[in-house]
Amino acid sequence: MSKNIQFIFNPSELGAGTRGASLGPEAIRAAARTKGSTLFSQFKIQSVDDHNDLLDAPTTFPFAKYIDGLSTVFASLTDKILDCISHAALPILISGDHSAAAGTLAALKKAHPQERIGVIWIDAHADIHSPYTTPSGNIHGMPIAAALGLDHLHLAKNQLDAQTKSHWDALKSKAFLPEDIVYIGVRDTEPEEDAVIQELQLRNFTVSELRQKGLPVCLKEISNKLSACDLIYVSFDVDSIDPIETSFGTGTPVANGLSFSEANEILTYFAQDAKLCAIEIVEVNPCLDDEKNKMAEHALVLIENIIAQRTV
């Protein structure tokens, strides 16, 4: 397995509803230093321009908050990912909020325009709203819709102005096909998302299903479902884990999630896949951590174990 890995730190939290996810990448780095780990000295690190200064003023886009800034963030992110891939390195992205994944997927599609990308989305949330359906306006709830190029106009409850529509249309990428995504651990959705999931027949492996069937069986099912894909992108939101297992150090914790050991088994399984083209860890928020820096410490262990699978 190739030892060529690069880290990309994307501390943008423009898509989040609570503040602090921008500190997640450095909180993980701090956890490594506290532990005495030299992990982040072993691989090249690139940092994305986050434009979090925009958060100092109110947004003018209520149904897609700070979308103007995200366009600029994604341009920087694309440059970093393309550079990484040009050096035949695997990008491991440590990002602020989950809106980052829309930019990551668009960049991966730009880098691999002819390849079919499979998506493994490990999260408590489906993140498939659009500005037309969102109840919050927070773009971290929209990356899947953006990457699928969907508006959900038949479910619209918000009327967008021309500028918001223009920014949203620019964000959409059609990076993958609906049949090429697998959800793991999704358990907190809104009615509009439920309708889209049903319409598109998106597959969600619930926590209860994982435990009833057993992880090895489910992981094999996921691999089989995505067998026609040329590449695999894994997106891991730490809120997929039950907060009792780790901490409440994430923006939208949800009970009854994965255990830490289950999350570790899932990530290390896909880390061994030769088709893996990128893996992203998001939504560590030390400002909300009720146990000092415990969420970042757990994220660090997951990252270390992922890398161990890639460097054997």
Query: What 3 state SS string does 108-131 have?
Result: HHHHCCCCCEEEEEECCCCCCCCC
Answer yes or no: is pLDDT of 1 > 50: no
Contact between 167 and 69 (Cβ < 8 Å): no
Q: What is the spatial distance between Cα 106 and Cα 103, in angstroms, rounded to a whole number?
A: 5
Q: Tokens at residue 287, please? A: 């400002």
Could you tell me which residues are beta bridge partners of residue 95? 10
Q: What is the spatial distance between Cα 293 and Cα 97, in angstroms, rounded to a whole number?
A: 17
Please give the share of the chain, as a percent, with pLDDT higher than 70: 99
- State the DSSP code for 151: -
Q: What is the spatial distance between Cα 224 and Cα 207, in angstroms, rounded to a whole number?
A: 19
Answer yes or no: is pLDDT of 3 > 70: no
**What residue has token string 């399984």?**
269
Identify the three-state secondary structure at position 56: helix
The domain locations on the chain are 5-310
- State pTM to two decimals: 0.97
pLDDT at position 138: 99
Q: What is the spatial distance between Cα 129 and Cα 279, in angstroms, rounded to a whole number?
A: 22
Contact between 146 and 173 (Cβ < 8 Å): yes
Local confidence band at 311 (pLDDT 50, 70, 90 cut-offs): confident
Task: State pLDDT tens for residues 252-300.
Answer: 999 999 999 999 999 999 999 999 999 999 999 999 999 999 999 999 9
Task: State pLDDT tens for residues 185-201.
Answer: 999 999 999 999 999 99
Mean pLDDT, residues 73-86: 97
> What CATH superfamily is the domain 5-310?
Ureohydrolase domain (3.40.800.10)
pLDDT at position 220: 98
Give the contacts of 154 (CB within 8 A, at least 6 positions apart): none
Please give the share of the chain, as a percent, with pLDDT higher than 90: 98
Name the strand (E) or helix (H) holding 211: helix 207-213
Task: State pLDDT tens for residues 27-70.
Answer: 999 999 999 999 999 999 999 999 999 999 999 999 999 999 99
Answer yes or no: is pLDDT of 170 > 90: yes
Q: Tokens at residue 199, please? A: 């319409």
